[in-house]
Structure 1
Amino acid sequence: MSDVAGIKKAAILLISLGTETSAEIMRQLPESYIQKISYEIANIDYVNPDEVDEIATEFLEMAQAREYVLDGGVEYARNLLNMALGAQRAKEVIDMLNQIQLRERPFDIARKADPQQLTNLLLHEQPQTVALILCYMQPDKAAMILSQFSIEKQAEIAERIGTITRTTPAVIEKIEKVIETKFSSFVDNETESVGGVHTLVEILNSVGRSTEKNIISMLEEKQPELADEVKANLFTFEDIVGLERGDVQKVLREVDNDQLALALKGVSEDIKQFIFQNLSSRAVETLQEELQFMGPARLSAVEEAQQKVVAVIRRLDEVGEIYLRRGEQDAVIS
């Protein structure tokens, strides 16, 4: 969504809310935005009711998504939005929210830097500084940079990322100024909850299996609890649709029917159909019947059931029974 499109949407939303409410909202905005929105309002002669409904719905979904993210993080928001909106719409809302948040984050200059040049400079920085910067970067780019460090440094940086909870604006600003000074000679220009397990997981989901295994192995030695939490989150239940048919069937043979029914509670129809397609007609009939008569279930119970299915997937992957696709292509051994 471009700035112009965003400003126009804001203008249409304010028009639909009425004079009194709009005036109250406008008073809370920066002067520069008040001028831009006022210009758009002045140049709008007619608003299509369907367009108003669409923009109002988008605003409510984005507001809801922001609230979920603040409550429990991106994965928590994604799970709740999947249940409320369906997988496709939930992905669109999360993607839009991520784009907006990226424009608000610090370290813009590092986000636009050439990955190799950025790596060359970060190789000489302290692990805690590298970790902080990677927290604000695109996961695939952060993964590319992380894989260039030595195995020991990778683990140390990963540990820092996984244990960061909060960082003061003053620290961020100080580091950002230093980085901008170093990068200003070759970067054109153009990544706040910082760090934590989910940030580390996003990065590890984009690196190759060897890099991931090295980092996990080192974390298991230094911080076993962090390693366990990272491993539990590396593959989400929704990712099961990316498995090969034969692999899915191997997983489902090791999952208790009651556990599978609870895990499917509230997921999108696409995921349910994918599971049904990999079961016998009798098993599908039994599973559908159990889902029908299950009744309401606590979100925590559903998530626990889904995590047990994920644990089976991870175990089968580790022993080579199934294959999980990763960020890097496997090397070919002749």
Structure 2
Amino acid sequence: MKVRSDHKTLNGLEKAAVILLALGEERGARLMERLEDDEIREVSYSMAGLGTVSGKVVERLIQDFTHRFSGTGELAGTFDTTERFLSKFLSGDRVQEIMADMRGPAGRTMWEKMSNVNEQVLATYLRNEHPQTIAVVMTKIRPEHAAKVLGLLPQNLVQMVVSRIIKMEAVPRDVLEDVEKTLRSEFMANYVRTLGHDSHAIMAEILNRTEKGLFDTIMEPLERRMPESAHRIKQLMFTFEDLGKLEPQAIQVLIRNCDTAQLALALKGLDDGMQIHFLGNMSERAGNLVRDEIELMGPVRASDVEAARLSILRTAKQLAEDGQILITNNGDQANMLVY
């Protein structure tokens, strides 16, 4: 690992991070807790990215305290040391929020992180931003990702953004830093908090992908031991029955991506309303074919039906993640799940 041996290569935030680490967890924490939230976040980023700093640089940066730190030697700024440092004066949830913000979505830089945010989510946020800001973002994230995001923005807004990209010269560093800071504090922090810290949502996502037998094995004892959590998880789960709440356009996209035989098996035994919701969004000929297949297949194993429904659910989730459809688990537009 490369050692930082020249203090001139450190910027102001990195120097502050070195001094705070050199002061030790207790003393450094007492000093750091006096900072504002955005300052804590900025210093934390620098601290986590320091790597190894030579003892010579440490001494140079804390000349007023040389007599105390002359034997300090090397120190290392890593994610683990940063997390322990923050835990001295912040709540566990706050520490996890900051650390998750630094670790993900995948990517070390702000723009790498933005390039890993689902395009539908990013487009929804950006449509309320100034066209110039959107133009800057589009030029910094991966081109293929920018293309998908632009395709989800209103046409009149796209034209304004494209015009600004074409006319854009080199973006001043201070302007770019302001955009990065805004995105980090207003968007990425909320994005990570929403997606990364709801344990019930994580459990619901896991259970969405399990077979019914395993689902029952997990949920039955959970309902006895932790009824409130079980209820919350069920509310967050997206089930096959929730497909009945999809808009006609979304159900048509789903049908086009499903195997006909598998769809017929999945619809076997469902109430008439659910069957009609699917078959009514197919052409008359295709709908009749599926109806005939359902009638001709006779009795089938419940496990086969469940497997077919789980496969279609996975297809729906993938289409949602690709931004092709919107899905909801409660029929309420205000609680629409956007992937």
What is the TM-score normalised by the length of structure 2? 0.33
Greater RCO structure (CA 8 Å; 6+ sep): 1
Rg (Cα) greater in structure: 2
